[in-house]
Amino acid sequence: MTVSDYGHTWLRGAHHIAPKTKERYGELLEGQTLPFLGTTKLQALKPEAVRTWHSTLLQGGLSARTVGHAHRLLSRVLKDAVEAGTLVRNAAAIIKPPRIEEKEVEVLEPDQLAALMAGLEGHPLHSIATLAVASGLRRGELCGLQWTDIDFDRGVLRVERSVEETRQGLRVNPKHDADADV
């Protein structure tokens, strides 16, 4: 069995992951992993091949973050193969993913934020931008809001769901966060 055979089998059987995550895993397998390691026999995959794969992806222009995502997915797939008794050793667990250079997040200064909001004045997105800036909610959380999520008496906004876009269309996900009040 090759890495490609097992990767496809694993992904088809991954019913425990969210559709958007499964979609992303498929992209990582097809775009970053299987073109380089797919023809390798599962039992013959060596840590050095994983290291070479990292270098090839980085030299090809991928970011260390993307290579890290692909690495963690491969490691998870191989871990499941070990647990299933299909594989003796997880070669990806022996090699660390590339180091990610931390970049400082650029936060808008008060005058920049004021200019942004002034520029959106009268625009249909002004209200949603105001809520986004004031609450820190993500796009999917903003899109999932309903009027019933607002308690005007207490001044509380409850994040109950988020919306994500998949190839099959929009999907509403319930929030499992116990502390979702804004």
Q: Is the pTM of this model over 0.75?
A: no
| Average of per-residue pLDDT across 68-88 | 96
User: Does residue 85 sit in the same domain as residue 50?
Assistant: yes
Is the pLDDT confidence value at 7 over 80? yes
| Average of per-residue pLDDT across 79-104 | 93
129 band by pLDDT with thresholds 50, 70 and 90: very high
User: Does residue 119 sit in the same domain as residue 89?
Assistant: no
Bridge partners, residue 157, by sequence: 150
Is the pLDDT confidence value at 167 over 90? no
> Could you tell me the residue range of the domain that residue 117 belongs to?
110-174
User: Does residue 39 sit in the same domain as residue 118?
Assistant: no
User: Does residue 7 sit in the same domain as residue 65?
Assistant: yes
User: Does residue 12 sit in the same domain as residue 85?
Assistant: yes
Is the pLDDT confidence value at 181 over 50? no
Distant-in-sequence, close-in-space partners of 125: CB < 8 Å, separation ≥ 6: none
